Amino acid sequence: MKALVIDDDEGIRWILDRVLQEEGLEVLQADCLTEAKAILAAQTDIGITFLDVYLPDGNGMDFLAEGHCSMPVVMLTAETTFGHAAEAYRIGAMEYLPKPFDLDEVRQLIQRVRPEKKIQQDQSKPVIKDGLIIGRSQAMQQMFRTLGRVAESDLTVLITGESGTGKEMVARTLHDLSHRADKAFVAINTAAIPAELLESELFGHEKGAFTGADKAREGRFEQADGGTLFLDEIGDMPAALQAKLLRVLEEGRVQRVGGSQYKKLNVRLLAATHQNLMQSIDKGKFREDLYYRLNVIPVQIPALRERRDDIPELAHHLLDKAAQDLSMTAPILLDDAIELLSRHDWPGNVRELRNVMHRLAVLTPGASITLSDVALALGNTNNSQHEEETLAQVVTRTTRQYLHQLGYGKATDLHANLLEQVEPPLLILALERCNGNQLRVADMMGLNRNTVRKLLRKYEIDPQSFR
């Protein structure tokens, strides 16, 4: 089988040439789209193409969308935004690899195209609306792949993650990239509305249905007909409404409060929560059947502290955005200031980082943001106190902060609670190191393989996503 590598970076071409030849492929190379067109015109038996996005004489995305490649295509890019990943999948790419890429991923891609398989190319070029869904980390890139593959579908997506990670932004982006983009996107935070009013908010009511209902009113489901409904903090929904929501999802129709008629609807549902719904199910607070109805496509947004390598890029992006909003020139982030931002734990996640960068844009007195400026913005004047900490000191400090947030008087089942905070990131780090191999993870952690499997199920971690 032949492979074509289209990239203007000689180093990228060299490393791909080496690994592809090791896999038994004959490798053809092009450093621009003009040369690539000539090769594609002369060669009819190319089994896979690796295509860079930015090339001297054009854009690889446009090249793919125009239908020049009839074989599986892997897009290569140094960009780290969800928009690039989503666009690559939507115009027909088999895979999207951010640079620098893992050579094992390249080898796995080769196995996927043996024997040769043809894929359909979508000729339409979508309009991408990038929000703050940015990240070079493995966890974010895996999330990009998942979102890119399901954006155009009508599949229900359950988005989980801590407060401030950007769950509504992910939902809005999924809507903007879907075939429903020209229809309504309706969002409702189910935890922000009193339980006695939530049913009417969701499903609407007829005139006279209850005291104060002086006229009929559409609910959010009806408002989202033809478009997308986003139910935020679904884990806080009262049990009685969970049953009615499940019935609406299964039947595809709603009945207003106080009404006798049903209305058929065409709504794509996206839901989000910061809670562990499996634990809520065990405690009888959330319906298991509703969970499986919502969890068709699970998307976990990592906390910012779990992807510290993304913080510099995010900080620069948010600082530029804040300066643009304020019609001012963005100050320069000095290296030691970036290091302090990267060490901060960010309990408020991206939302907190956005607020801090806005604060720095406004309050920084000079043309550069220094270590002291960041320390002041974070409320930490002793910015060197964590530089030489041991692991035990870090655990002591962060546990003290956790207990303070929890309230010492309310601390119950502390050992179990702390384990639930520590075990998931430890498992994720081990899975990343072992490329999702559960046997190697068990060896690394000194645990039985069955114990590792139970923990992965408990915390809803998919080992396949780390391969």
Mean pLDDT by 10 residues, the chain (467 residues): 90 87 89 93 89 92 89 84 75 82 81 53 34 71 82 92 90 89 93 86 86 84 95 92 93 89 94 94 94 94 90 90 85 89 92 91 82 84 50 70 55 76 85 84 90 89 79
Q: CA 35, 40, 43: angle at the middle one, nearest 5?
A: 120
Report d(CA 29, CA 52) in Å as an integer: 12
How far does the chain reach from its first CA to its final CA, in angstroms? 24
Q: Do 160 and 209 touch, CB atoms closer than 8 A?
A: no
Which of 200, 206, 174 is closest to 188 using CA atoms? 200
Surface-to-core class of residue 214, CB atoms within 10 Å of its CB (0-12 exposed, 13-18 middle, 19+ buried): exposed
Report d(CA 155, CA 386) in Å as an integer: 45
Question: What order of strands is seen across the sheet that includes strand 2-6?
Answer: 26-30, 2-6, 46-52, 73-77, 95-98
Report d(CA 236, CA 198) in Å as an integer: 11
pLDDT recorded at residue 404: 56
How far, CA to CA in Å, does 127 sit from each of 42, 70, 182? 33, 23, 12
Q: Do 294 and 245 touch, CB atoms closer than 8 A?
A: no
Report d(CA 233, CA 191) in Å as an integer: 6
Structural domains for the chain: 2-142 (3.40.50.2300), 153-300 (3.40.50.300), 306-377 (1.10.8.60), 402-466 (1.10.10.60)
Which of 210, 17, 237, 202 is closest to 106 using CA atoms? 17
Surface-to-core class of residue 314, CB atoms within 10 Å of its CB (0-12 exposed, 13-18 middle, 19+ buried): buried
The contacts of residue 216 (CB under 8 Å, 6+ apart) are: 204, 205, 206, 207, 256
pLDDT recorded at residue 142: 79
Q: Which residue type sits at 460? A: E
Cross-strand bridge partners of residue 217: 205
